[in-house]
Amino acid sequence: MQAIAPAVSVAGFFGTLMGVLIALPAAAQAQEAMVQEPRALEAPPVPPDPQRLVYGVGIVSEVPASAGALCRDDATCIMSGGGGILVRVALATRGGLDAGFAYSLTKQGSARLYRLATLQQLRFEGRYTFSTGRTIEPFLSGGVGVAGYGNEWGLDTWAPTLSAGPGVMLELDKDAFVSVGLDYRAMRFAEFSDQTGRVRAPTLVHMIGLRLSIEARGKL
C-alpha cells in the first residue's frame, strides 16, 4: 500500500498541470477582451466642419476721395458722398475664409443734376478672418465687380470695380455677429451724357466705403 502513494501523487501533479495549461488560453482570451472593450466605447472621429452659409444686411456709406471728370466743380459735381443699404451672402469654410456676393444701393449727391442719383454695385467678395479666440476678430476683404450709376435706379454709365480693406467682427453669439469694414474702391466709369445733355468723359473714381452690418451663420 505504501508503494502506491507516490504513483497517485505523480498522477495528481500531471492532472493539475494539464488543467492549468488548458485554462491559460481561456484566461488570456478573457483578458484580451477586457483590454479591447474600452476601444469599442470610444467616440467616433468628429467629421470636418461642413460649409456654412453666411448672410447679412447692413448700411453703407460711399464717399468719393476723387471723382475725376464727374466732379470738376461744385456746380457740375454729379457724384458726391451718399449712403444706403447692403446685402451679402457667402459660403464659409474652415480656416476663416468666406466668399460670396454683395449688392449695395446708395443714394449719392449730384448737385441736383439728378432727381435721385443712385449708385448700384454687385461684387464678388472674399474675406479672411484672423482667429483670436476672443469676441472681437479682425479681417481683410477684397472683391471685384461692376457698378452702375444713374437717375432713379437707372443706369447712365457703368464701371468695373476693385475693392479691398480691413475690418473687425464682434461676436454676438455662436452664429451671429456684427461687422464693420472700411473699403477702398477703384471704379472706371465709361463715357455718358447726364440729364442736362452734358457729356462726361471716361474717368477713374476713387471711393471710400464704410459699412456696418449684422450677419448670421447657418448650415447648408
Tell me the pLDDT tens digit for each residue of 45-66: 545 556 789 999 999 999 999 9
pLDDT tens-digit map of 89-140: 999 987 889 999 999 999 999 999 999 999 999 999 999 999 998 999 999 9
Q: How far apart are CA 170 and CA 136, in angstroms?
A: 5
Domain spans, the chain: 1-42, 52-219
Per-residue HEC secondary structure of 139-207 comes to EEEEEEEEEEEEECCCCCEEEEEEEEEEEEEEEEECCEEEEEEEEEEEEEECCEECCCCCEECCEEEEE
| pLDDT computed for residue 155 by the predictor | 93
Indicate if the pLDDT at residue 71 is higher than 80: yes
Angle at 167 between CA 166 and CA 169, to 5 degrees: 150
What would the mean pLDDT of 185-207 be, rounded to a whole number? Answer: 93
Architecture of domain 52-219: Beta Barrel (2.40)
Return the closest-CA partner of residue 115 out of 195, 27, 208, 169: 195
Return the closest-CA partner of residue 129 out of 94, 158, 86: 94
Q: How far apart are CA 96 and CA 94, in angstroms?
A: 6
| pLDDT computed for residue 7 by the predictor | 47
Q: How far apart are CA 104 and CA 210, in angstroms?
A: 12
* Residue given cell 484580451 in the structure block: 32
Return the closest-CA partner of residue 192 out of 117, 122, 123: 117
Residue 25 class from Cβ within 10 Å (0-12 exposed, 13-18 middle, 19+ buried)? exposed
* CB-based contact 150:144 (threshold 8 Å): no
pLDDT tens-digit map of 136-190: 999 999 999 999 999 999 999 999 999 999 999 999 988 999 999 999 999 999 9
Return the closest-CA partner of residue 167 out of 125, 128, 138: 138
Measured in whole angstroms, the distance separating CA 104 from the mean position of its chain's CA atoms is 18
